[in-house]
Amino acid sequence: MAATGFEGFEKRLELKFTGESVDGLRQLDMQAIEDILDAAQCTIVSGIGNRQFDAYVLSESSLFIYPKKIIIKTCGTTQLLKAIPVLLAHTPKLGLNVSSCRYTRGSFIFPKAQPYPHRNFEEEVSYLNQNLPSNLTEIKTNVLCTKTSHSWHVYSAADPNVPQATSLYTIEMCMTGLDRELARKFYRQHDAGSGDMAGKEMTVVTGIAGIHPGAIVCDHAFDPCGYSMNSINDRRYSTIHVTPEDGHSYASFECTGEEEDSCSCKLMKELGRVVEVFRPMTLSVAVTGTSRSQVWKQVQAAIETAGLEQQNCKRGDFPAAGTVVFQAFHGQY
């Protein structure tokens, strides 16, 4: 907890691996997973899974474990990057080798509250370079800045001998200045029961249940306020995290999809529902995909249709991530 408020903006780490094992990272036992998360200073709250991957709601955001990919997303003053050496101590026993790393985050609301190694982006880059294996020689960093206070920090590292092509896109949305009436729905009622029960109620009451109807959902409400949700559908996921306090309210939405299957109408409806749930005054979104991807244009259209005005747009190319298009919007409510 920061001295001036809770830091909603997440740090996101994605590591990909190669190896012969079919189950790969899903062979990690619960003790190993807890050790990895303990290094980052967070814990598991609840979890779900399917044939493709496992998804966990954390005390600070989310964890997704695929056979050859792991995504850890944490907020607050967690020390996410310290999970790397602990994780990499386990992977050789699973027959896995790191093939790429992507680390991203927005601009912190309370940057001075962040501990080592997250006090600034230069420190994060230095820590990553020191703790990732030497085969990841194709390294690029960039800070995509906009006219607003939001910036997008990207670190990308890859093994040049391993193909990094993928048809998956990722949308990472950060929202601040949430509508106060809507934000109040993310405060627990006194008789709401357990965190899981209260989370299920919030999912329905806030309209989040309508974003991805039919998906398997794992949700949790924190005390006295705050909310986290993971939903899974085949190998795709979406996740929402909310810090509703006045003065530093924040919500994030992240989802993945297949570029070849992306439907403009469906994506616009989903993102439109997200904006309706929170009605933020400022919104920034990073869309990561192939250089040919036009998903970012669909995202722009959806957000503008929902009532926000684009302020700026920046683009960057990264060896392990592909092309990142970062856009900033302002509410016109």
Q: Is 6 labelled a binding residue?
A: yes
Task: Consult the annotation and say whether 138 binds a ligand.
Answer: no
Catalytic residue among 241, 252, 284, 293: 241
Q: Active-site residue 228, yes or no?
A: yes
In the annotation, is 75 catalytic? yes
d(CA 274, CA 267): 11
Is position 253 annotated in a ligand binding site?
Answer: no
Say what angle helices 264-278 and 295-305 make with each other, to 10 degrees: 40
- The residue from 42, 62, 75, 107 that is catalytic is 75
Helix (H) or strand (E) holding 80: none
Query: Is 107 one of the annotated active-site residues of the chain?
Result: no
124 labeled part of a ligand binding site: no
**CA angle at 26 for the pair 24 and 27, rounded to the nearest 5°:** 75
Q: With b meaning 16 or more CB within 10 Å and e meaning fewer, what string describes 236-261?
A: bbbbbbbbbbeebbbbbbbbbbeeee
Q: To the nearest 5 percent, what fractions of the chain are helix, strand and coil?
A: 30, 40, 35
H or E stretch including 122? helix 121-131
Determine which one of 107, 228, 238, 252 is catalytic. Answer: 228
Alpha helices in 153-294 (DSSP H): 180-183, 195-205, 264-278
Assess whether 153 carries a catalytic annotation: no
Range 303-311 contact pairs with CB under 8 angstroms and sequence separation of 24 or more = 303/271, 303/275, 303/327, 303/329, 304/329, 305/268, 305/272, 306/271, 306/272, 306/275, 306/276, 307/275, 307/279, 307/331, 307/332, 307/333, 308/275, 308/280, 308/283, 308/332, 311/146, 311/147, 311/148
Give the active site residues: 61, 75, 228, 241
Task: Show binding-site residues.
Answer: 6, 60, 222, 245
Task: Show binding-site residues for substrate.
Answer: 6, 60, 222, 245
